[in-house]
């Protein structure tokens, strides 16, 4: 394969709602460019893009796939992305390599929830965007209605470049208002280029003039030229459209049937003639804010945007050459791990097919195998430089589950497998929670974790595992002052154990004065603070520990042991075993024995006195509350709202957003278990949501009583 120069390279991300036909578009592009000699189908399980076994089982994309085609002496790198929102991480990672997003629109549906979600990400990452109206040959296709929905969502930035002469089964011709020609297609996909029929002239002229105006608006010189001549020629229009794409001032619309290859060649022509080259796009910045220009003459740098693991090959790293050029056998520094990597083999990739190349220049996309310490988000550079690119910002998780190996002997293997799966998909998060005593998996939805984690554990790693409901990280605290004392006494032949502790506890609030006296059970207890320790807690909140001992009732050497006992009980709160927080403890009296007193005695006395005081101090359980934003079609709004209210949600606001309803609510985490599945079921998969931790709030009393009763029963069983 030849080495393509930067100006002959185009990088596109194929995005779109599930069912819009992205994989079929990619297949048609590869076939048109001669990279494959036969088009596969999703149902036939033989496409270049969906080549993983799990994708064959699901009949849809689960991973993003790096592909390329060669057309008009250009190399077009294509990243085919999944349509399901559960796999949004693959779309976001593709944006770090792509210079243009090609959004597939199902002409039967128009704008869908996925269209809106993906367009938001395009906006966040400032990616040029063009729309491809696919499936125009299907019975329910309606170009006008789909175009209307695009304009309702994206406004006057939507500009028609092509429109169909007919929809549905009769679809076989497109009017191109950039070239002012009609393309008529035969059943085998071959096209005829014809003059526009008389009955389409007026419509075509109107859209042609609208396209000229849109192109002129994106370039001051072209605008002046337009005012002078009243029109623009083809090359001038192309220049204006390129500028409009880069500035996101224009979203061109094209028409195709990927299944029949109608219009695919014209899309490729447009991409090679008009789509921005890597070197005209805004230069990526390093973590230090330095812009790295896409120039072959500069020192070499790469950014790894995807890592995969394949049987018989091992780990594959997919990268974009951000500057310079990379050659086979080149040594580069991994600036994330401070190690050296040798790129012994370089590949251009078309799904599972890899073509060896000797060199890739700035702007190109390629792959390397068997790198020792390189993963997604790593930066490799010439040894003379040492910068790093910022990591891809993946979305917050919105589904969590606990996982365990069915056979304890597989625990170590499970840990290793989960680490590797996390490297393949960084939106999978794995954490061992000391607090909950569970391995917690987090991801974008139940479907996401079932496919990325459970399927791979079952079929690739051969580890039997179980998903089960995760515990909730409650917090425990108190609302009033309480006192308690506890004597620990144990005699067992030789030296015994003895320690007695008297304490007072009260709620902590920032800025509170130190105590002088307490009223407990109608009696006033005066305290004299001799020493104060403030302990910020790892899980949030504060413990303030006062030494108020007078007269040597407890030797100072035992006070750390008392604190240790208190901390142990705060790590396993008295109500539910959850972390306790925001408490002040004053040790004001006690007793010791000249022989039997020791650290363990006072640790146990402190622990049990704290437990007794806590239960008398108006204890309350706090639960994590999340901000939840749901994007839902208006006809399903009532169902979604009713469901949320049944989950103890506090609805905070509703508003319309580009044809969809946006609902904001605060919802307890305990009520969000499997919410992604419930929402999909309620809305036929047409809604999506995001969630982010907000705060801790007190649980309702009936919920608190249930939680305490369940914990007591659990302790009794143990």
What are the pLDDT digits (tens) for 61-76? Answer: 999 999 999 999 999 9
> CA 372 to CA 343: how far, in whole Å?
10
Q: Is the pLDDT of residue 680 over 90?
A: no
Query: Are residue 486 and residue 533 in the same domain, yes or no?
Result: yes
Residues near 454 by beta carbon (within 8 Å), at least 6 away in sequence: 465, 467
Pairing mode of beta strands 523-526, 517-520: antiparallel
pLDDT at position 684 over 90: no
493 pLDDT band (50/70/90 cuts)?
A: low
User: Tokens 């390129």 appear where?
Assistant: 242
From residue 348, give the alpha-carbon distance in Å to each of 301, 371, 457: 17, 16, 30
User: What span, in angstroms and rounded, lies between the C-alpha atoms of 362 and 7?
Assistant: 10
Q: Confidence class of residue 224 from pLDDT cuts 50, 70 and 90?
A: confident
Looking at the predicted structure, is the pLDDT value of residue 566 above 70?
Answer: yes
CA–CA dist 612, 614 (Å, integer): 5
3-state percent helix, strand, coil for the chain, nearest multiple of 5: 30, 35, 35
CATH code for the domain of 511:
3.30.230.10
Strand (E) or helix (H) holding 637: helix 637-645
At a CB cut-off of 8 Å and minimum separation 6, what does 230 contact? none
Domain-ending residue, one of 407, 442, 471: 471
Q: Does some domain include residue 287?
A: no
**pLDDT per residue over 80-106, tens digit each?**
999 988 999 999 999 999 999 999 999
pLDDT at 206 over 90: yes
580 token code pair:
């306790």
CATH number of the domain bearing residue 684 = 3.30.70.240
Mean pLDDT of 610-622: 95
**H-run or E-run covering 520:** strand 517-520
Q: Judge contact between 465 and 459, C-beta under 8 A.
A: no
Classified as helix, coil or strand, 570 is: helix
Length of the chain measured in residues: 718
Residue 47 sits in the same domain as residue 166? yes
612 and 502 within one domain: yes
Helical spans, DSSP H, in 494-554: none
Q: Look at residue 352 and tell me whether its pLDDT is greater than 80.
A: yes
Pick from 79, 73, 39, 51: which is nearest to 264 by CA? Answer: 39
Same domain, 535 and 486: yes
Please indicate, yes or no, if residue 296 is contained in any of the structural domains: no
Both 352 and 430 in one domain: the answer is: no
> Does one domain contain both 679 and 697?
yes
Class of residue 417 by CB neighbours under 10 A (exposed 0-12, middle 13-18, buried 19+): buried
Element (H, E) at 713: helix 701-717
Residues 6+ apart with CB under 8 A from 434: none
Residue 230 lies in a domain: no
Dump pLDDT digits (tens) for 617-672: 999 999 999 999 998 888 889 999 999 999 999 999 998 866 678 899 999 999 99
Is residue 346 in some structural domain?
yes
CA distances from 667 to 14, 215, 397, 399, 419 (A): 35, 47, 15, 14, 30
Tokens (6 digits) for 252: 């061109």
Please tell me the total count of domains within the chain.
Answer: 5
Q: C-alpha 191: how far from its chain's center?
A: 41
Highest mean pLDDT among 84-88, 419-423, 474-478, 689-693: 474-478
Looking at 584, 618, 652, which one is the last position of a domain? 618
Q: What is the mean pLDDT of residues 18-42?
A: 94
Q: Which residue, chain included where needed, has tokens 């500028």? A: 243
Strand partners, 10: 76
- State the residue range of the domain holding 135: 9-211+237-280
Same domain, 577 and 677: no
User: Over 80: is that where the pLDDT of 243 sits?
Assistant: yes
pLDDT tens figures, 455-469: 999 999 999 999 999
Do 76 and 194 reside in the same domain of the chain?
yes
Question: Buried b / exposed e across 437-474, counting CB within 10 Å, b at 16+?
Answer: ebbbbbbbbbbbbbbbbbbbbeeebebebeeeebbbbb
For the CA atoms of the chain, what is the radius of gyration? Answer: 32
pLDDT cut 90: percent of the chain above it: 79
Shared domain check, 42 and 182: yes
Tell me, yes or no, whether 318 and 431 share the same domain: no
Strands (E), 19-128: 65-71, 74-80, 100-106
pLDDT (0 to 100) of residue 235: 84
pLDDT tens digits, 277-309: 999 999 999 999 999 999 999 999 999 999 998
Last residue of a domain, which of 558, 587, 618? 618
Residue 168 lies in a domain: yes
pLDDT of residue 109: 93
E strands of 548-619, at which residues? 579-580, 583-591
Residue 289 DSSP one-character state? S
Q: Do 54 and 201 reside in the same domain of the chain?
A: yes
Instruction: Verify that 84 and 194 share a domain, yes or no.
Output: yes
Residue 223 placed within a domain: no
């Amino acid at each position: 394969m030849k080495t393509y120069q930067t100006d002959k390279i185009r990088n596109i991300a194929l995005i779109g709602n599930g069912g819009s036909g992205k994989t079929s578009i990619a297949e048609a592009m590869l076939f048109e460019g001669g990279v494959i000699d036969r088009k596969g189908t999703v149902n036939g399980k033989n496409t270049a893009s969906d080549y993983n076994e799990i994708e064959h089982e699901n009949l849809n994309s689960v991973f993003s796939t790096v592909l390329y085609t060669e057309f008009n002496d250009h190399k077009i790198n294509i990243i085919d992305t999944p349509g399901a929102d559960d796999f949004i991480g693959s779309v976001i990672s593709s944006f770090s390599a792509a210079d243009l997003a090609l959004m597939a629109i199902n002409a039967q549906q128009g704008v869908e929830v996925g269209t809106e979600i993906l367009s938001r990400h395009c906006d966040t990452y400032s990616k040029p965007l063009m729309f491809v109206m696919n499936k125009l040959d299907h019975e329910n296709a309606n170009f006008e209605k789909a175009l209307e929905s695009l304009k309702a969502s994206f406004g006057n930035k939507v500009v028609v470049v092509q429109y169909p002469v007919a929809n549905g089964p009769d679809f076989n011709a497109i009017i191109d208002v950039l070239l002012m020609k009609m393309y008529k297609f035969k059943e085998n996909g071959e096209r005829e280029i014809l003059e526009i029929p008389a009955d389409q002239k007026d419509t075509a002229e109107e859209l042609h003039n609208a396209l000229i105006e849109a192109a002129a608006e994106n370039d001051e010189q072209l605008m002046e030229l337009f005012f002078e001549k009243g029109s623009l020629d083809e090359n001038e229009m192309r220049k204006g459209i390129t500028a409009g794409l880069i500035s996101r001032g224009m979203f061109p619309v094209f028409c195709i049937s990927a299944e029949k290859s109608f219009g695919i060649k014209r899309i490729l022509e447009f991409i090679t003639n008009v789509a921005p080259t890597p070197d005209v796009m805004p230069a990526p910045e390093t973590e230090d804010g330095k812009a790295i220009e896409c120039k072959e003459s500069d020192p070499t740098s790469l950014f790894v945007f995807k890592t995969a693991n394949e049987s018989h090959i091992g780990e594959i790293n997919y990268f974009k050459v951000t500057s310079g050029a990379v050659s086979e056998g080149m040594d580069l520094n991994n600036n994330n791990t401070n190690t050296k990597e040798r790129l012994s083999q370089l590949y251009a990739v078309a799904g599972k097919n890899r073509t060896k190349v000797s060199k890739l220049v700035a702007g190109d996309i390629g792959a390397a195998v068997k790198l020792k310490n390189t993963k997604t988000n790593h930066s490799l550079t010439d040894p003379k430089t040492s910068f790093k690119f910022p990591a891809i910002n993946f979305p917050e998780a919105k589904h969590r589950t606990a996982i365990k190996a069915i056979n304890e002997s597989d625990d170590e293997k499970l840990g290793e497998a989960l680490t590797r799966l996390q490297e393949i998909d960084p939106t999978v998060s794995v954490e061992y929670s000391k607090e909950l005593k569970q391995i917690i998996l987090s991801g974008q939805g139940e479907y996401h974790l079932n496919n990325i984690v459970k399927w791979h554990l079952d079929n690739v790693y051969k580890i039997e595992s179980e998903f089960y409901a995760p515990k909730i990280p409650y917090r425990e605290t108190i609302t009033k002052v309480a006192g308690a004392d506890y004597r620990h006494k144990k005699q067992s032949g030789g030296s015994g154990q003895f320690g007695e502790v008297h304490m007072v506890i009260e709620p902590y609030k920032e800025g509170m004065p130190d105590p002088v006296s307490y009223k407990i059970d109608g009696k006033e207890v005066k305290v004299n603070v001799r020493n104060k320790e403030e302990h910020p807690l790892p899980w949030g909140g504060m413990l303030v520990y006062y030494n108020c001992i007078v007269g040597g009732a407890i030797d100072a050497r035992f006070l750390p042991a008392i604190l240790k006992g208190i901390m142990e009980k705060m790590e396993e709160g008295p109500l539910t075993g959850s972390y306790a927080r925001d408490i002040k403890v004053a040790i004001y009296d006690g007793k010791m024995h000249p022989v039997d007193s020791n650290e363990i005695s006072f640790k146990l006395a402190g622990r049990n006195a704290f437990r007794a005081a806590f239960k008398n101090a108006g204890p309350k359980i706090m639960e994590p509350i999340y901000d939840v934003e749901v994007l839902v079609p208006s006809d399903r709004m009532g169902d979604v709202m009713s469901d949320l209210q049944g989950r103890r949600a506090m609805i905070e606001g509703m508003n319309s957003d580009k044809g969809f309803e946006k609902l904001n609510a605060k919802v307890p985490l305990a009520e969000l278990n499997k919410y992604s599945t419930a929402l999909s079921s309620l809305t036929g998969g047409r809604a999506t949501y995001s969630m982010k931790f907000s705060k801790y709030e007190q649980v309702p009393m009936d919920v608190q009583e249930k939680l305490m009763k369940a914990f007591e029963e659990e302790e009794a069983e143990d």
